[in-house]
Chain A
């Protein structure tokens, strides 16, 4: 199988598996226990915290371990909202193409009296810092903008947005689930107050993540019931998972620049190859995107059938069609960058990883071409487009 869905999840690294197993076998004490076995687990936990902190330029005490990116997003936003509410600030700024962990939390806050401004992401899938600045009011409690988009891979001007927020005294959170371990991040230089990450996106285990909260920012608990994580997240810590996350992150950061260089070349070849398909379009800016991400719309076909046929040919990918997102509408990200429903249904996301070869890239290009052409061959929409009964959109 050629695995081209690393934005959905990644395969655990050997080193991370080793850490996970060895902690489960040998360091299974409860970190809250006083005796030696418990304290050894506590040490493993704190070593992991230091490693994670070092990977993003933070201090260990600024790292809170969570069950993943969604929990971190929820807690970051909820905490900033509570802090704002105490000062009478009930306005939050975000973007139209955030992950649902952010958007759904904001929806909930709206029902509790908050006002939410969702900034446009434009055709290239990029936020304009000046538009963030213009949206900030005296009521603004939080700006939350994702670091890199999970579907179209566009990388946002985080440092500039952070600088604006800092100058205006507004908290800044970034959902960095797709960026941590893949892009250089320094929370100090990047002016980030709150950051969410998920281990399984950088070859760590599922069910583990972390929230960075700059010291001095008081977090609101989502889970009550114990003094773990400085009282901000109750529940016995997932020591093997957390340790494995730290191993995976350290490894990812060490190999980051080399991996990015290699993947960018392969990504660009993939983009060039797929661009040869008539009436197709790349989604998101061609250069300000994750080295791993390629996302296309193909007019006249539907994404799920494309994915199933690619799966038959040994290629694992994903799509933003309604039938794969499981809702009435196609991907909210594609709609946010202005793709109309008709073409958004025919989208394909390929997110490549370090194990991919040049031959794999050529194989993908060839097979996507064949499958798109095959499906267009009996698509009534395609027939109407070709016969001039309907105008091409792409």
Chain B
């Protein structure tokens, strides 16, 4: 049995929307290096429509695939719709993730939401110094929850 679905492997091997948007309207970063997963999302928004989205991810195969799929799911969508993106939708679009990798889809959902919140803050004129907004209010270890069996050796 393969570790991941064909869809996960496809998005892992050929991730969509990889990169950076220098003049992004919203940037969000979640996760931390200690846990081994960081996702950063960049949004370009025009008339409340997400016209472009890029991501950078440090993480395992499913983290990269989840980021890629999440960007596909929100590209071209209104902000209000993107706000409702759930981790479940990301995982389902990938034909499922192993249980102990579901946190990767949660991370993708949170990264999108964080970028959207950053956009909204900027819209309200609460521009924060620096280009990005890291969600510090989140418990940093929340997504650090790999729980597979210990590899046997």
Contact = CB atoms under 8 A, between A and B. Distances in A.
Given A100-B150, A305-B12, A326-B100, A380 B35 contact: no
B33 A342 contact: yes
Interface residues on B, range: 35 or more
Contact of A323 (B40, B57, B60, B149): B60
A16 interface: no
A305 B29 CA distance: 20
B151 interface: yes
18 contacts: A150-B153, A302-B58, A302-B59, A305-B59, A322-B146, A323-B36, A325-B151, A326-B151, A328-B147, A341-B33, A341-B36, A378-B56, A379-B58, A380-B40, A380-B56, A381-B38, A381-B58, A383-B56
B133 to A, nearest CB: 13
A380 to B, nearest CB: 4
Given A302-B36, A303-B60, 15 more contacts: A301-B58, A302-B63, A305-B59, A305-B64, A308-B61, A323-B36, A323-B59, A323-B60, A328-B35, A341-B33, A341-B34, A342-B33, A378-B56, A379-B57, A379-B58
Contacts of A328: 35, 144-147
A326 B147 contact: yes
Nearest to A318: B151
Interface string A295-321: 000001111110011001000001001
B146 to A, nearest CB: 5
A341 B34 CA distance: 5
A304 B61 contact: yes
Interface in A4-48: 7-9
Interface of B: 3, 9, 12-13, 15, 18-20, 29, 33-40, 55-61, 63-64, 100, 144-151, 153
Contacts of B153: 7-9, 99, 150
A363 interface: no
Nearest to A330: B36
Given A8-B153, A330-B36, A380-B38, A305 B61 contact: yes
B134 to A, nearest CB: 10
A325 B150 contact: yes
Contacts, number: 91
A289 interface: no
A328 B142 CA distance: 11
Contacts of B149: 326
Contacts of A301: 58
Nearest to A323: B60
Contacts of A302: 36-37, 58-60, 63
A305 B60 contact: yes
A279 B60 CA distance: 20
The 6 closest A-B pairs by CB, nearest first: A326-B148, A304-B60, A323-B60, A345-B36, A342-B33, A380-B40
Nearest to B35: A322
B18 to A, nearest CB: 5
A99 B152 CA distance: 10
B141 to A, nearest CB: 8
Contacts of B15: 378
A147 B122 CA distance: 59
A380 B57 contact: yes
Contacts of B37: 302
Nearest to A5: B153
B58 A380 contact: yes
Contacts of A379: 38, 56-58
Contacts of B36: 302, 321-323, 330, 341, 345
A87 B126 CA distance: 72
A310 B145 CA distance: 25
Interface string A174-191: 000000000000000000
